[in-house]
Amino acid sequence: MNTFESSLDIPEGSATNRAYRRLRAMIVAGDLKPGEKLKIDGLRKRLDTGASPIREALSLLTSDHLVERIDQRGFRTAEVSAGNFSEILKLRCVLEDLALRNSIENYSEDWEEQAVLAHHRMQRAQDERKDTFENLHKAFHMALLANADSPILLKFCSQLYDLNIRYRFLAGRALDYQQRDVREEHAGILAAAIARDADTASERLISHYKLTGAFLAGLLGSGTLG
């Protein structure tokens, strides 16, 4: 199962932390379907943990917009829609543009090394078709932004990444990159960033997101997702 970094501060190793991370990963990866009612007893058995950590985790996930309350009586996974996806993509482009430009402005050799390393790890996982690719894909994109020196902005970017990637998981095999060279897109973003060319790096990053976004929006319009 893929895991995704939390955007909230929960004590590491706690039962709530473990439940939060597992439920978050299950929702993002589509193991829990959009609009699915989340019954505490069923999740308790599935995650082999207590009811209290499950309730606390679900409450936290409402802040991530991955879970919705049902009239204070329970929880369900957040629905998906064309409007929701459009808003996520728009916000992601705006906030990551800001974060990337700040990150480049604060250039350091350590940041460059970490970004290059994250890119290498991601590409190696892709070449070897490892299950860790999605984690490393996120790690690469967040490494590009990591030098922004704005913790709140980076938390929002992390949240939006997971909300966006959920749609890509739902697309599954329908998402066909044959007409694109995603490897070259990633390399181009990295090259511009470490060359400190903020305009080109931002342009390539936004294009990268919008190309995927246009395809996913088409699937939503055709009813393939949701």
DSSP string, 24-65: HHHHHTTSS-TT-EE-HHHHHHHHTS-HHHHHHHHHHHHHTT
30 pLDDT exceeds 70?
yes
Instruction: Assess whether 93 and 70 both reside in one domain.
Output: no
Query: Does residue 203 belong to any structural domain of this protein?
Result: yes
Average pLDDT over residues 83-97: 96
Q: Where residue 69 sits, what CATH number does that domain have?
A: 1.10.10.10
Q: How confident is the model at residue 5 (pLDDT cuts 50, 70, 90)?
A: very low
41 pLDDT exceeds 90?
yes
Query: Does residue 49 belong to any structural domain of this protein?
Result: yes
| Domain stop point among 77, 92, 117 | 77
| Domain stop point among 77, 104, 130 | 77
What pLDDT is stored for residue 176 in this prediction? 62
175 pLDDT exceeds 70?
no
205 pLDDT exceeds 70?
yes
pLDDT digits (tens, 9 = 90+) for 129-172: 888 898 999 999 999 999 999 999 999 999 999 999 999 888 77
Q: How confident is the model at residue 220 (pLDDT cuts 50, 70, 90)?
A: confident
Nearest to 138 by CA among 165, 177, 98: 165
Query: Does residue 109 belong to any structural domain of this protein?
Result: yes
Provide the domain limits for residue 185: 82-222
110 pLDDT exceeds 80?
yes
Instruction: Assess whether 71 and 90 both reside in one domain.
Output: no
| Domain stop point among 37, 61, 77 | 77
101 pLDDT exceeds 90?
yes
pTM value?
Answer: 0.85
Decide if 208 contacts 160 (C-beta within 8 A): no
Q: Tokens representing 77?
A: 């996974």
> CB under 8 Å to 21, separation ≥6 — which residues?
3, 4, 6
7 pLDDT exceeds 60?
no
Instruction: Assess whether 90 and 168 both reside in one domain.
Output: yes
What pLDDT is stored for residue 222 in this prediction? 65
Q: What is the DSSP letter of 217?
A: H
- Mean pLDDT for the chain overall: 89
Lowest mean pLDDT among 11-20, 71-80, 215-224: 215-224
Q: How many domains does the chain have?
A: 2
Instruction: Assess whether 27 and 72 both reside in one domain.
Output: yes
Sign of CA dihedral 99, 105, 111, 114: positive
Query: Does residue 9 belong to any structural domain of this protein?
Result: no
Strands (E), the chain: 37-38, 67-69, 75-77
What pLDDT is stored for residue 6 in this prediction? 47
Average pLDDT over residues 43-70: 94
> CB under 8 Å to 149, separation ≥6 — which residues?
102, 106
What pLDDT is stored for residue 129 in this prediction? 84
